[in-house]
Structure 1
């Protein structure tokens, strides 16, 4: 039986979870839920394939953690939490099935941990993590003490999850396997809707239908906050309005018909600002992160903040304190006048947004990229779009595909992307050689980026080290 088979399990009451074991507890989503349950006094154990700082932090919070997967690790557990990434032959999943334990998808566990708190759920093909983090930082700044679960660490928060006492829960709602349908949101933010995760959905139409179902979860007094600049999100709003069920729809973006309209955006190397127009006035917005996409994300958070009763100035002040989420244009170091950044972008639209931001930060200097495709199915579907987005860079080195949960697909390789590139560089199957090649192209003032959702992030520090050596040797 596959882990995916458990993602539609009926939502459980918090009190019915008992002792909870997480298979893959070191992942961003799983560790977030574990943190919340630990804070609420639940006995938690878990395992991961390798040791990490996250495991050690959870251990300090009281979790029993194991490095490596073994059926004996689930001893004493009442509930076992899995994600779609867990394979059927995982020994802990096999032991849980054989023992008749309660097995639930991580989304069900997260929904159970929310209790009766009012949920702000952030969905979208991309931008979820940053927008969820912005909403959380904004609410914390306003003294609302939200609970939150985010798919990445946030510098302004210090952690990716916490149990708050303010009665609001902010959560990243993952659409990749349809599991976001397990939530009961009061407010939904949709940043964009595009075809992705076709290994699960099979077609773009199925993706759109899933978002329709998600919006349909809103209660009568719920609010749907959507980006009107995105065709998919706009179409979702139009379909939802046509249902005539009466829930409030708030559009945001640069669009003329947006309820929260972005005007006069301004950018520099490390920040951005704009004016937001809304029913009741205008508000200046200043951010410590660059890029037009972050202005949109902040407008979404601002709209949600107004929806839960924040004053416009308080919402803007909270957003001004946001300094970025881990692996979202995250600075990894500088050497020889070259700055190195890391970004989790793994869809063509995300890659394009990251490189547009890099162009602004580079201020006329060049941008060099080390890119790792994520999933064979995504590479097959979007190879041409990836090539177009990556061609915004001055040079690109493309590593082998990071498989994650997938088995190889015959004929699908990184060369499907590199053969379409309209910039210098190409396929680099040897990561060591790729690091040397990328560092060797960079000159003082340039930007170097590692991009992808796999383990490409590990090469950021190595790029900084090689750039430092080159500077010491007089090669820059």
Structure 2
């Protein structure tokens, strides 16, 4: 079976199995604008990616062998579906149609561009979104694929330079080659690349951003060393004199970069962060008027930069994005300092992504309390802790209520104590049953949502501040009661209600807003 997509995609009919997946929908956007004919299938449940597909005039079909017509030339499929189980895939195999895994298709596309991979246990999506939003302000031929809808991309998962979009419509794969200064005639392609099951090993990067490395995906990486070594192997995919931009404030990223550097001394190592030396040394500034201000050494004589999203971790992601964009400018023979205003504008234009500190609504309670409802995908204890700390600093005048649903039994069991201690920046904590994964059997674990609840109480948080409801919507009345309670002088602005996790407890925030 072929694992490559053709160079010229104009008129090529590609069928996507699992087309509603975020990464799949993003790849659909890019291949659609490259001239491919797209069809796809998925489950009937509506997802936010349905809106992306509808903007392209596409609608997901139900899974069926009848979807696989003789006109289809390639099938791209999500790893959630198996060649011998899904009816579309079974039919495609029978017809000898090349079936390409999503990660292989992404890797195939990355080969034809000057590709930059953004990886790390935390911060991939925000860093990718920030990079794309800055690139929108720069005169570089670029495409960006993120793992979520990015508001500043116009409510899609991808950004494509107008130079590329226009020429792709007219010329197919010869798009804007004359504009790709110093990139060997290729367009810049920036993509979020995932470490799970070593998926990023299909990608072909010239530059890599590494945001963080720590233990995660315990079902596939039982030890920290297992996941660290996967990142090392990915870095070693860089070509001779390739570039690694890594976080100097993350212990795992520093160790990973060091190991990779010993294996590949030709790789150019560029650190960013407070502990970095050089152009991308970071200094945190004030948090005021719902803006995070900061300085980078490269622009020390130009003034501060700022982003309009909460959390020091987002500032770190912004520093990484600025570093990548500045290095791409240098590759194109452009001085980054001359683009300070453009970079600054790109940063402030970034307002987050779907389920990434996303403000989903606000309302007044019966007693007149102002409530902001936020949804966030944070599902690792480090991400939960840093995100809540960011909210505490950003929304100083609001009382914070967090509703958290832990995702995967294996992660919760392996990181139980870390999860229990990650909620200290919240005033009230609501917990639920564990949101399982299709790849694990709950009966294999001696842990439940109640186990986490009991562990949180052991950290010294008052029992009346921690609440447990097995089912998500059973907590609705309690949340409404908490939000309507009188506020002390310490919280003059009202409440911040946060649904957090990779599960479906976002439905609680939606129910609260509807009521």
Q: With structure 2 as the length reference, what TM-score do the two structures score?
A: 0.83
Query: How do 1:361-440 and structure 2 match up within 5 A?
Result: 361-410=394-443, 411-422=446-457, 423=461, 424-440=465-481
**Partner Cα distance (2:197, 2:303) in 1:** 37
Query: How do 1:226-375 and structure 2 match up within 5 A?
Result: 226-255=246-275, 257=277, 259-268=279-288, 270-278=290-298, 284-309=304-329, 311-312=336-337, 313=340, 314-336=342-364, 337-375=370-408
Q: Secondary structure at the match of 2:189?
A: strand
- What RMSD in Å do the two structures reach over aligned CA positions? 2.4
**Partner Cα distance (1:399, 1:464) in 2:** 20
Unaligned segments of structure 2, at least 5 residues: 165-179, 181-186, 365-369, 488-493
| Residue number in structure 2 paired with 1:72 | 66
| Residue number in structure 2 paired with 1:161 | 158
Change (3 A) 1:273 1:280: closer
**Partner Cα distance (1:455, 1:241) in 2:** 40
1:136-156 CA deviation, whole Å, 9 max, x = no partner? 110111132421111111111
| Residue number in structure 2 paired with 1:150 | 146
| Residue number in structure 1 paired with 2:184 | none
Report if aligned partners of 1:346, 1:452 keep a CA contact under 8 Å in 2.
yes
Change (3 A) 1:276 1:195: same
1:73-128 CA deviation, whole Å, 9 max, x = no partner? 23343322222322563332333344433222211112223452211211000100
My pick for the range that moved more, 222-231 or 375-384, is: 375-384
| Residue number in structure 1 paired with 2:21 | 27
Query: How do 1:45-84 and structure 2 match up within 5 A?
Result: 45-49=39-43, 50-52=45-47, 54-55=49-50, 57-63=52-58, 65-66=60-61, 68-76=62-70, 77-84=72-79
Please identify the structure whose Cα radius of gyration is greater: 2
| Residue number in structure 2 paired with 1:469 | none
**Partner Cα distance (1:53, 1:240) in 2:** 38
| Residue number in structure 2 paired with 1:474 | none
Change (3 A) 1:57 1:208: closer
**Partner Cα distance (2:73, 2:313) in 1:** 43
From 121, 132, 136, the equivalent of 1:136 is 132
1:236-268 CA deviation, whole Å, 9 max, x = no partner? 111122224312110000115365111142213
Change (3 A) 1:53 1:235: closer
| Residue number in structure 2 paired with 1:91 | 87
My pick for the range that moved more, 24-33 or 91-100, is: 91-100
Change (3 A) 1:281 1:111: farther
The reply to whether residue 14 of structure 1 matches residue 7 of structure 2 is yes
**Partner Cα distance (1:263, 1:356) in 2:** 18
Report if aligned partners of 2:408, 2:434 keep a CA contact under 8 Å in 1.
yes
**Partner Cα distance (1:295, 1:53) in 2:** 27
| Cα shift at 1:174 | 0.8
Q: Secondary structure at the match of 1:396?
A: strand
My pick for the range that moved more, 287-296 or 398-407, is: 398-407
**Partner Cα distance (2:410, 2:480) in 1:** 30
| Residue number in structure 1 paired with 2:173 | none
Q: With structure 1 as the length reference, what TM-score do the two structures score?
A: 0.89
**Partner Cα distance (1:56, 1:169) in 2:** 24
Report if aligned partners of 1:25, 1:55 keep a CA contact under 8 Å in 2.
no
Unaligned segments of structure 1, at least 5 residues: 1-5, 467-476
1:268-310 CA deviation, whole Å, 9 max, x = no partner? 3621011111499665211111210111001101111111116
**Partner Cα distance (1:205, 1:72) in 2:** 46
| Cα shift at 1:402 | 2.1
**Partner Cα distance (2:467, 2:21) in 1:** 31
Report if aligned partners of 1:129, 1:172 keep a CA contact under 8 Å in 2.
yes
| Residue number in structure 2 paired with 1:173 | 193
Change (3 A) 1:282 1:238: farther
1:29-56 CA deviation, whole Å, 9 max, x = no partner? 1100011111111121111212445335
Change (3 A) 1:428 1:93: farther
**Partner Cα distance (1:433, 1:449) in 2:** 16
Change (3 A) 1:57 1:275: closer
Q: Secondary structure at the match of 2:385?
A: helix
**Partner Cα distance (1:256, 1:55) in 2:** 42
Q: Secondary structure at the match of 2:150?
A: coil
| Cα shift at 1:324 | 1.4
Change (3 A) 1:119 1:42: same
| Residue number in structure 1 paired with 2:34 | 40
